Structure 1
């Protein structure tokens, strides 16, 4: 289009459907209609902040009231002229806190509101909004009434001077049908306290009862109040936590970052919680509650605390219901995490009783933190509990008894090997719990003299007592039968003497053997394509081992059986029993072996010695094949 063509055109403005906008606000921007109370408080606080900047001696007051379906808030703030009412109250996206003819850009950082949505957000609960205001900037300006309805229309008119003698603003909301629950006096008071308890000005609430106005704000924050003793402060903080979060904390941690404009406290949960649990922290922005569900305020490892704090530097999202995740928040998050870490270090050096009480509940969180901090791991070694072959103890005690430390990656494997390891002086730690394997891998960096390795079948077998050569030679036929029988299971058979003698057999494998076992199990159920692929992956990985205990009387009796078939069946039963003790998943072949060995032993138990199967079957009329089925 040419410049000549442009000369005859006139610029147009966008038209906004207010009802559509209200639907957008209530269903997509705001999580709940409850935010209208925040908008009312926010506008009032910003107005009195501007008034105080203009006239530091001016009397400051904010009064909130609710009766029936009407909510009213009155402030002694800066007020508006008729032109400002037209420009600011009815224009979406324009804010008096920004620049422009009516802006306050020079002091914008002191204000709560930033986005220019303003009073229009109150239409999520109101069918009509009436504003009566008088400007403090222009002493000659008359009071102004701005009246808007939810159909998108509004009027502005000047009122007589006595309609509002003093500067300030009164906002009256009339509830829309279906939103009456949000304007009930008790609800309004509860929301006002929730949002505004830390606001910097005195705010009162009046429900029209004989009791009169009641304070909404409760300043200073409990973490900023003076107390006669540290114990008295802890008691006050515990009461605050119980009122705010509904639990009595195990302890409290001060979160004080003056450079970042952050002050608050973190409360330690009194019960264990999952690392996957994301705690909802409460964040106030310049005294106004921003959110009680901030899950990005602290590092993920600090899942054992719930925090409440006030800040004047972090940025809110457009809905003002969460924190904007930017570089500033990342730096604050790291600094708050460092504060929690410093608290742990302080307890370790000066208050071991409190640290022990904390770790008895939340050792998992500290282990999570120590994975990324070798200094903290070294500090916590005397405190962090581990399950070991010598019982439950910390790594410092365990390392004093064992310079070579082995660990298992599963709880089941540990529980099978622990009694044998303890009897033979083998130091084994159960690393089947969350984070334990990572910490053990880091242990040599803290204690270089220690050797930490994953437990394998060879290491255990080497620590068990060998059987005298003469005895092993005498049992060579038995061992040959056992190895032949378990060859299809990819399992070797060795003979050792170990304690406790009550354990007849021990099933041992390592990671490579387990991988080969899983590959074989997958091969059994795979189609032709995957069978070829899995078959090509077969390697020379170490095999699992069935360690027979020569100290066990049952093993010696089985080894002396004259019948090779009965010996083979008994060996299968020992293998199945050891496999069940290890609590590993059973393959189809293992299940079939267990069934076969069990039924085989029943056959041997129920047939008299010297009577063949055919004799018994013909006498009873039984069909062996049917019995097997």
Structure 2
């Protein structure tokens, strides 16, 4: 720590030093998610040096960044044709932590969008990878002089005149640490840098390859006239490069409609460029395969920025490019400031408009999207009224008759029936008999979608399995206590008997689980205390207290059915109906048979009873 005596005030001022050893630990172990990102920072420095020369030097030059390796010597060299450094600038910028010329240049020039660096830490990243760093540089300001910077730890260095480089620019020569010697491999470098540097404007060459790794112009930068079909193919080809899991069905350029139809374009729309695409492949509605790569000033910053896409868009991928999004210090993620959320909203708006355009202009692609992502779109429709209007008559609902449009669920009384259980129960039997489709409400987003659809179209949605829903279906009737007891004793096993009229008349009885009672009993049992946190359990028990205690299973007998009507009259007349009731009970057991072992025992008995009844009936 250096001590400075301030003569004017008589106060001793302490100037803090920098422990570069500690800073290097932060850089190598904490700042970057992987030290290989340090390589990107060095390419960025070369890129910014070229932009600087273009701004400051009036002489024409050919811009390029070249990366070469020597696998035997374990060296990696990054060469650029940029502005270079004078000896004074070596001392000022290479040897001073947090001081970068790029930031100064950006402050001095309005037209500096091509500059990437921000924090003055980029050069230090070389020491993450290398045991020795050499910088051979020739400044455009002193084109006949070349200087060589050398250091092993960034804290101690030498800077001397050396053999002339031959041209303006800089070579950063890394003698790689043992841990990173695999970087002295052109194929490995090509894989890494073609990912990070795909959108940089300056050409980047690896080895002696004459084709730059970033030679392909992204679709939104195409300036020449191009046929729409060719442009569509270019967009799909670009999407395939970035979509690692699925084939893109079609693409959505950002703000396409705003550019052509709006006189007022927002700051975000002026700044943000890019391409979204819809993935092929069918998913369950809750699948989240969003992927979004974000480039800031041409350099890949975050290839996992899926949070910028709407949560309902689990089938989307994309690449965006911005000059104004702010990176964190590691330049691997974005700061979630106000502008970040403006971009998030703008992407969502562009995506909604894009889906509408596809539906209008790309019918074949739209059909594929609806087929692949029906369940996800069902949920998406609930997130925005525009999406609901677009999708309400296009998405299909899982039902007893397969996946069908909502319009096919409406009966003559303008009612839609939905069953809440995933197990086929009385609802499935009744509606198959009536030949009326019933929706499967346990599937993803079906219930809220149907509720909204019914409300907007003035329909009645009957949710079967709930007390309120069953009231629409069963018209209860009262019997005298004696008849009720005879029927209950003969038909029920710890179940509640209810006499009602319902369709179809041919069905004598149905077994209906009372799902509210099941929920109440389950949550109020001692076992629930072991499985559910006390706070959550208290909340749900406040709800279940409102549900009256009643049996979990109800047996509805159909007084409209001729057999039931006959039995009721026989009981009232004092006749023996035990065989008839036993036959109905056996039928009840068969209707409710499942894999449960106790039910299987009852099923065997029920089948045996039917056999005996058939024999006695013929006696």
TM bracket (short chain): 0.7 to 0.9
Partners of 2:558 and 2:455 in 1: how far apart?
A: 38
Residue-by-residue CA offset, 1:384-407 (whole Å, 9 max, x unaligned): 101345653222444485522232
> Which one of 229, 232, 251 corresponds to residue 230 of structure 2?
232
* Stretches of structure 2 lacking an aligned partner (at least 5 in a row): 1-5, 260-266, 615-619
Aligned to 1:430: 440
Q: Give the drift of 1:76.
A: 2.0
In structure 2, the CA distance between the partners of 1:603 and 1:433, relative to structure 1 (3 Å rule), is closer
> Is the alpha carbon distance of 1:165 and 1:425 closer, same or farther for their aligned partners in structure 2, counting shifts above 3 Å?
closer
Match for residue 41 of structure 2? 39
CA distance in 2, matches of 1:125, 1:357: 47
Query: Which residue in the other structure is 1:454 paired with?
Result: 463
Superposition deviation, residue 11 in structure 1: 2.3
Q: Tell me what 1:507 maps to.
A: 511
Residue 172 (1) aligns with residue 173 (2): yes
Residue 443 of structure 1 and its aligned partner are, at CA, apart by 2.0
Deviation, 1:245, is 2.2
Distance 1:318 1:248 in 2: 34
Q: CA deviation at 1:316?
A: 1.5
> Is 1:97 matched up with 2:102?
yes
Quote the offset at 1:466 in angstroms: 9.5
Partner of 2:123: 119
Q: In 2, Cα distance between the equivalents of 1:402 and 1:436?
A: 21
- SS of aligned partner of 1:217: coil
| Paired positions, count | 578
Specify which of 29, 32, 41 is matched with residue 30 of structure 1: 32
* 1:361 alignment counterpart: 372
Task: Check conservation: 1:65, 1:72, Cα contact below 8 A.
Answer: yes
Structural mapping, 1:541-556, within 5 Å? 544-548=553-557
Displacement after TM superposition at 1:231 (Å): 3.1
- 1:568: Cα distance to partner? 8.0
CA contact (8 A) 1:356 1:383 kept: no
1:127-526 equivalence runs, <5 A: 127-136=131-140, 138-139=141-142, 142-150=145-153, 152-159=155-162, 163-207=164-208, 213-225=210-222, 228-246=226-244, 247-256=246-255, 259-260=267-268, 261-274=271-284, 275-388=286-399, 392-399=403-410, 403-412=414-423, 416-421=426-431, 423-424=433-434, 428-447=438-457, 449-455=458-464, 456=466, 460=470, 463=473, 479-484=484-489, 489=494, 491-494=496-499, 498-499=503-504, 505-509=509-513, 511-518=515-522, 522=525
What is the deviation of 1:42? 0.3
1:200/1:28 CA distance change after superposition, 3 Å:
same
Change (3 A) 1:224 1:49: closer
Structure 1 residues 270 and 555: alpha-carbon distance in aligned structure 2, compared to 1, 3 A threshold? farther
1:595-626 residue CA offsets vs partner (Å, 9 max, x unmatched): 774586599799999xxxxxxxxxxxxxxxxx
Q: Helix, strand or coil for the counterpart of 2:397?
A: strand
Asked if structure 1 preserves the Cα contact closer than 8 Å seen for 2:218 and 2:238, the reply is no
CA drift of 1:89 comes to 1.2
SS state at 1:432 partner: coil
User: What's the CA shift for 1:453?
Assistant: 3.9
CA distance in 2, matches of 1:158, 1:197: 36
State the distance in 2 between where 1:326 and 1:394 align: 42
Which residue in the other structure is 2:262 paired with? Answer: none
Bigger mean CA offset, 491-500 vs 178-187: 491-500
Ranges in structure 1 where 5+ consecutive residues have no aligned partner: 610-629
Q: Structure 1 pair 191/390, CA: closer, same or farther in 2 (3 Å)? A: closer
Secondary structure class of the residue paired with 2:179: coil
Question: Post-superposition shift, 1:156?
Answer: 1.5
Say if 2:94 and 2:123, in contact at 8 Å, map to a contact too.
yes
Q: CA deviation at 1:128?
A: 1.1
- Higher mean alpha-carbon deviation, 175-184 vs 22-31, is at 22-31
Whether the 8 Å CA contact 2:139–2:168 is kept in 1: the answer is yes
Task: Name the SS for the 1:293 alignment partner.
Answer: coil
Q: Residue 89 of structure 2 is aligned with which of 84, 91, 95?
A: 84
User: TM-score of the superposition, structure 2-length normalised?
Assistant: 0.79
When residues 154 and 213 of structure 1 are mapped into structure 2, their CA distance, relative to the original with a 3 A threshold, is farther
More deviation in 183-192 or 542-551?
A: 542-551
Q: The residue matched to 2:167 in structure 1 has which SS?
A: coil
Distance 1:331 1:396, change over 3 A: farther
CA shift for structure 1 position 547: 2.5
Q: Distance in 1 between matches of 2:92 and 2:550?
A: 81
By how many angstroms is 1:48 displaced? Answer: 0.8
SS in 2 for 1:115: coil
Does the 8 Å contact 2:190/2:206 carry over to 1?
A: yes
Structure 2 distance, partners of 1:608, 1:269, is 61
Q: Tell me: CA distance 1:325–1:425, structure 2 relative to 1, closer, same or farther (3 Å).
A: same
Structure-2 change in CA distance of 1:326 and 1:399 (3 Å): farther
In structure 2, the CA distance between the partners of 1:143 and 1:600, relative to structure 1 (3 Å rule), is same
Does the alignment pair 1:16 with 2:16? Answer: no
Q: Distance in 2 between matches of 1:422 and 1:604?
A: 27
Report SS of the residue matched to 1:66.
strand
Note the aligned Cα RMSD (angstroms).
4.3
Deviation at 1:220, TM superposition (A): 1.9
